[in-house]
Structure 1
Amino acid sequence: MNVIWRTLLVMWSARRRVRREGRIAPTEIGRIRLTTLPTDIDVLRHMNNGRYLSLFDLGRWDLLVRTGMSDVMKRNGWYAVVSAETVTFRKSLELWQRFDVESRLLGHDDKAIYMEHRAVVGGEIYARVIVRARMLKRSGGTLSHQELFAAVGRPEGIPDVEPWMHEWAAASALPSTRAEAPSVWS
C-alpha cells in the first residue's frame, strides 16, 4: 500500500514540474529523489531487492507524465505492461538513505519499448534495471508502434536497442498467453 501513495505523490509532483518547467523530450533523462523508508528494507536492514522494481516504477510514472505520454495514453485507452526486466545490484541502499531514480527511454523494437532505470547516490550507480514493456489497448490487443508514433510523434535521437537486449528478450521470453505454459521442472 505504501507504494501507491508514493506513486500518486510522484505523479502529482511531475504534473507540477510540467506546469513550472514544461515537458521534457522523450529522449531526456528523468530524475526523482527518494528516501529508503522502513517499509523498503528487509531483515538485513538494506533495501529489499524486490522493492527496487517498485520504486523504479515511480521513475517510469514521472517520465510518462513529464513527457506528456500519460495524457496521450489515458485519452486513447492505452497502457503499458512490463513483459521482462533484469536488475543488477552494485551497492546497498540503507535505511533513510536519499537517492535519485534516473529513468530514460532506450529505444524500441517491433514489439516493445525498452527503458533503463538507475538508483544513483552522489553520481554513483547503486543498481540498474532494464525494462521491456508492451503497449496494450484497453479495448483489447497490442498497440502498434505506428499508432503510438502517429499520436505522439517519433522521438528523434533514440538509439537502436543494443543486440544483447534482443538476445535477453528472446532468452527470457515465456510462451504467448494463448499458448500452453505448463510448469514442468526438468
Structure 2
Amino acid sequence: MNVLWRTLLVIFRARLSVRRHGTAPPETVGRVRVTTLPTDIDMLMHMNNGRYLSLFDLGRWDLLTRTGFLRTMRDNGWYAVVSSETVTFRKSLELWQRFEVESRFLGHDDRALYVEHRAVVHGEVYARAIVRARMLKRSGGTLRHEELFAAMGRPDNLPDVEPWVHDWAVASALPSTRDAAPSVWN
C-alpha cells in the first residue's frame, strides 16, 4: 500500500510539472526524490533488495507522465508490461536515507522499450536496474512500434540500444508464452 500512495504522489507531481513546463523530451533523465522508510528495510536494517524495483517503478511513472507517453497510452488503450529486469547493487541504502531515483529511456528494438533506473546519493550510484518492457493493447495483442511512434512521434534523440543491452535481453529471456517452459532442474 505504501508504494501505491508514493506512486499516486509521483504521478500528481509529474502532471503538475507538465502543466507548468510542458512535456519533457523522451531523452530526459527523470529524477524523483525518495526516502528509505521503515517499510522499505529488511532484517539487516537496509533497503530490501526487492524494494528497489518497486521504487524504481516510481521513476518510470514519473518519466512516462512527464514525457506524455502515459497520456498517449491511456488514450489509445495501451499499456506496458515488464518482460525482464536486472538490478545490480553497489552500496546499501539505510533507514531514513534520502536518494534520487534517476530514470531514462535507453531506446528500443523491434520488440521492446528499454529503461535504465539508478538509485543515486549525492551524485553517486548505489544501484542500477535495466528494464525491458513490451507494449500491449487492452483489446489484445502486442503494440507495434510503428503504431506507438505514429501516435507519439519517433523520438529523434532516443539513442540506439547498445549491443550489451541486446545481449542481456537475449540471455535473460524465457520462452514465448506460446512455447512450453517446463521447470526442469539439471
Q: TM-score, with normalisation over the residues of structure 2?
A: 0.98
- Where does residue 155 of structure 1 map in the other structure? 155
Residues 41-60 of structure 1: matches in 2 within 5 Å? 41-60=41-60
SS of residue in 2 equivalent to 1:125: strand
Q: How many equivalent residue pairs? A: 186
- Where does residue 105 of structure 2 map in the other structure? 105
SS of residue in 2 equivalent to 1:101: strand
Distance 2:69 2:53 in 1: 21
Distance 1:66 1:158 in 2: 16
Q: Deviations over 1:143-182 (max 9, x none)?
A: 0010000000001122211111111111111111111111
- Where does residue 69 of structure 2 map in the other structure? 69
Distance 1:58 1:77 in 2: 21
Which 5+ residue runs of structure 1 have no aligned equivalent? none
Q: TM-score, with normalisation over the residues of structure 1?
A: 0.98
User: Do residues 93 (structure 1) and 93 (structure 2) align?
Assistant: yes
RMSD over equivalenced CA pairs, Å: 0.7
- Where does residue 19 of structure 1 map in the other structure? 19
- Where does residue 185 of structure 2 map in the other structure? 185
Residues 79-90 of structure 1: matches in 2 within 5 Å? 79-90=79-90
Question: What displacement does 1:17 show?
Answer: 1.3
Distance 1:122 1:142 in 2: 40
Question: What displacement does 1:183 show?
Answer: 0.7
Q: Deviations over 1:73-132 (max 9, x none)?
A: 001000000101111101111000010010000000000001100000101101000101
Residues 45 and 94, structure 2, Cα contact 8 Å, conserved in 1: yes
Which stretches of structure 1, 4 residues or more, deviate above 4 A after TM superposition?
none
| Percent identical | 76
Distance 2:16 2:97 in 1: 25
Distance 2:35 2:107 in 1: 29
- Where does residue 120 of structure 1 map in the other structure? 120
